[in-house]
Amino acid sequence: HDLSDDADYAQQSASMMRSDSGKSTSVVYLKDNVTIHPTQYASERISGRLKLIKQGSSLFMTWIPYKGQITNASLSERDRSLYTIRAVPFTDVRSIRRYTRTLGWQYIIVVLSSGLAFPSLYFYNGGVKEFLATIKQHVFIARSLEDANVFLVNDFQNPFQRTLSSLKLPVSIASRPSASSDGGEYSSYELQGRIDGSIHEDIPRPSQNHGRQKHKSHDPARDLTIQVLEKFSLVTKFARDTSSQLFRESNGYGAIERKSSSHSPPIPHESMDAKVAPGEGPVPSDPLEFDKMTLVWGKPRQPPLGSEEWEIFLDSEGRIIDSKALKKRIFYGGVEHSTCKEVWPLLLGYHAYDSTYAEREYLKSTKKSEYEIVKQQWQSISTEQAKRFTKFRERKGRIDKDVVRTDRTLSFYEGDDNANVNILRDILLTYSFYNFDLGYCQGMSDLLSPILFVMEDESEAFWCFVALMARLGPNFNRDQNGMHSQLFALSKLVELLDSPLHNYFKQNDCLNYFFCFRWVLIQFKREFEYKKTMRLWEVLWTHYLSEHLHLYVCVAILKRYRNKIMGEHMDFDTLLKFTNELSGHIDLDSVLRDAEALCICAGENGAACIPPGTPPSLPIELLYTED
């Protein structure tokens, strides 16, 4: 699911078009068969018409899907409209990334000033060069000094000033004033109607881009080899900017700890049946309320798995006797801290369930040597070399900046010159060389911190982190495909499990579910206190009911506050602020019980809402190992 429904730019676009409504409108560029790939299935590609529209002194971009596309794809016509790009003004565009592969289609990614990115737009019949040339005739556009395939839009700063600006954390989306919405404003759909006359475009000719049968195809956007240089271009700022906006860093302390010093009123304890304030009108009932008498609404949580009970699951040589039983036990109770060091490597896939004590010790020894070799790659870079290695300096600078702000209130990381903070830094730097394509993005330190806290060993923590990133790495991809697919799946799950709430989000331009971005990106790391976060991760890592249980956790939280959300008529900005302020006020055990029940209730229909390959899908080799 794309993030093109962001309320900020939709309202701003409407305001700008309204202010220029008396001026002539002309189409200065038009290209048919420009396509979006929502999933890896060729049959689910959505073709449409791309336009550049000049109105007065302003230039706008639209992409409208064709209506009546004949395909066996599971995406409905309504789903297709979610991808519509509705008259985004180029004053809101930060950059355009161009891909001209020797093999495969040309495509572009448009990144907004807010940090959001539209889905990749594929030009099946060429036309990227003409697209950029047309833009250049109407707005200021210049190549990035760091990457010739990145075009900066309206970037009037000199390179030195731009570098300084990139180090600053942007203002939170929720804190920006929204455009007014008086009776004269156009809605996003009305705005598009004024330009195109219809929310859909007629198909100019039969499309040959949709197969009759679902089949996976190679998607160059998912080819990791193209990311080596892209990770260092200015386009990569979107990941750090988006994360920064939602993380709301303040002196580097975690979200839970900062709450104690906040002057904002506490959020009342949530309830699945929270009442609406008087005078706010009725709220549509929860469709699952009527099933509570017959539905087993989640099983009670159990005490965590301790060391003595852990021994029961092992044979004499250290193999796990019944991995499914172990996962079930952890799913309902988690793991005691003293036992986590042995269990977490198994849950993460670093160790195999059928490995012996001896095999695990041998792997630990060989992996330690391998870690030191990778670590030496960046440690051997001299000061003089670093002066000529811009990308290394950038990565190191971002990591140095983040680690000193990660969980510093925890005794394990607190204090000046803390050795564990230095280890955290070394692991992240080493990982940026180990996975050079992905590099480093803000949020990774949040995922590594609990692992190092548990493992208390640099090499072991590194390899456990590598295993975790095999699942969550797509969350940090430049093109946001991993986040897009998860937020899209979340929207479908809410539609399935609470259609009134889904319709409310639709009516209020919240279908991008961007208010859940932080939850998904770092797996609720900022929403619970440290120990509860670890307990939640253990539950998620079991994949006992679903490898996408985190999405059902999102649904469970939204349903617990549905009456407050709809009763107070929250718009996008208010909802984003509200979800961020839930940090520290969510009861984990209740939410896990609800998520379990929702997952069971959704069944196969719920699984069908989640496109194949959606993170954190296990790598194929791990699936075979666990089976």
Convert the pLDDT of each residue in 363-388 to its tens digit. Answer: 999 999 999 999 999 999 999 999 99
**C-alpha to C-alpha distance for 591 and 539, rounded to whole angstroms:** 12
pLDDT at 22: 56
Determine which helix (DSSP H) or strand (DSSP E) holds 598, and give its type and residue range.
Answer: helix 588-608
Residue type, 392: F
Task: Decide yes or no: CATH 2.30.29.230 for domain 7-200.
Answer: yes
pTM of the shown model: 0.60
C-alpha distances (whole Å) from 374 to each of 61, 306, 365, 459 are 45, 35, 15, 11
Token readout for 12 is: 């701003």
**C-alpha to C-alpha distance for 599 and 576, rounded to whole angstroms:** 25
pLDDT-flagged residues of the chain (< 70): 1-23, 68-81, 101-104, 156-283, 285-298, 618-627
Prior bond of 615 cis (ω within 30°): no
CA Rg value for the chain = 25
**C-alpha to C-alpha distance for 627 and 624, rounded to whole angstroms:** 5
576-579, Cβ contacts within 8 angstroms, sequence gap of 24 or more: 576/173, 576/174, 576/514, 576/515, 577/174, 577/175, 578/515, 579/515, 579/516, 579/518, 579/519
| Domain range annotation of the chain | 7-200, 338-476, 486-626
Contact 532, 588 (CB under 8 A): yes
pLDDT at 23: 64
**Domain 486-626: which topology?**
Cyclin A; domain 1 (1.10.472)
Determine which helix (DSSP H) or strand (DSSP E) holds 95, and give its type and residue range.
Answer: strand 93-99
Q: Hey, do 7-200 and 338-476 end up sharing a CATH topology, with the first three levels equal? A: no
pLDDT at 104: 66
Three-state SS at 62: strand
Q: What is the pLDDT of residues 144-185, one digit of tens each?
A: 877 888 999 987 554 433 433 333 323 333 333 333 333 333
pLDDT at 219: 45
What is the second-level CATH architecture of the domain 338-476?
A: Orthogonal Bundle (1.10)
**C-alpha to C-alpha distance for 413 and 484, rounded to whole angstroms:** 33
